[in-house]
Chain A
Amino acid sequence: MNEKDGPAALPERLTCKEAARLLSAGLDRQLPEPERARLRLHLVICDACRNVEQQFDFLRRAMRELGRGDDGEAPPPR
C-alpha cells in the first residue's frame, strides 16, 4: 500500500463491541465498503477481535456439522 497517512484518510475507529456486531453481520450479508474497511482495520490491530472472528466462523462450521454425525463422508475440503 502506498497511501499517504494523513489522519483525515483514516476511517473512524471501531470499538470491539462494534467490531463484534459487524463480524456477526458479515456472516449474514455482504458488508458495505466503508464498514468492511473499518472492520479490516480493527482486525489488524486487535487480536481479541481476530479470535472472535475465528470463533464465529468455527461456530458456523460446527452448526453445519451438527446432526451430520460422525459416520458420514469426510468433511468438505476447506
Chain B
Amino acid sequence: MTVMSLESELAELHKPLLRFAQLQLRNDALAEDVVSETLLAILEKPGNFEGRSSLRTYATGILKFKIIDVLRKRGREVHVEPLDEQSVDEALDALFHADGHYVDKPPAWQQPEMALEQRQFFEVLERCVERLPPRLARVFMMREWLEREVDEICAELSITANNCGVMLFRARMALRECLGQNWFGQDGSGSKA
C-alpha cells in the first residue's frame, strides 16, 4: 500500500472513528484526541498494518485501546453517580405486568442475520445506543463494544457488581425495544400509555 493511498483511506475513516469515540467518551475534545492518536499511530508505523484485516478493522482495534486508556484515567478522576434504582424499575415495570409477565409478548425478529449485512441497520443501532442515558450507554459500550469483563468495569467506575448488572440489563432491554421498533418492525403499540 502506498503512503498516499493509506492517507486517503484514513481520511475516509476519520468520521466513522470519531463517531465511535464520541459515542463512548461523550466528550468531543477527548474523542478528537483519541482518534488523532489512532491515526498518528497508523501513519507512524504503516508497516504494522499487515493487510490481514481491513484497515477499518485495524484502526478500530487501535482506537478501542486508546479509548480504554482514557476511560481508565477518567475512571480514577470522575465519580460516577450510582444509578437511580427507582427510575430503572419504573422503565422496566412498564414492560411487565405486576405478575412478571410481559405486557406485550416479545415477538421473534425476522431474519436478524440479514440485518448484520446492512449498513443502515448499524446506523439504527448507533442511534439506539445514543438514546440511552449516558451512564448506561457507557457501561454497555464498555461491556459489548470494548468487550471488557464486568469486574473490570465495576472496579473502574466504582460501582457494585449488582448495580453494573442492573445497568447492563436495563441497557439491553432498552436496545431490544429500540431495535424492535426501529428495525424489526415490531409495532410501537406496545407502549400502552
Contact = CB atoms under 8 A, between A and B. Distances in A.
Given A66-B125, A67-B20, A75-B116, A28 B176 contact: no
B79 interface: no
Interface stretch (B25-33, B40-48, B68-76, B98-106): B98-106
A48 B164 CA distance: 25
Interface residues of B, number: 44
A28 B147 CA distance: 10
Interface stretch (A3-11, A15-23, A33-41): A15-23
Interface in B5-50: 16, 20
B92 A25 contact: no
Contacts of A27: 168, 172
Contact of B172 (A24, A49, A64): A24
A55 B179 CA distance: 10
Given A20-B169, A27-B168, A69-B54, 5 more contacts: A28-B143, A62-B125, A64-B144, A66-B125, A71-B54
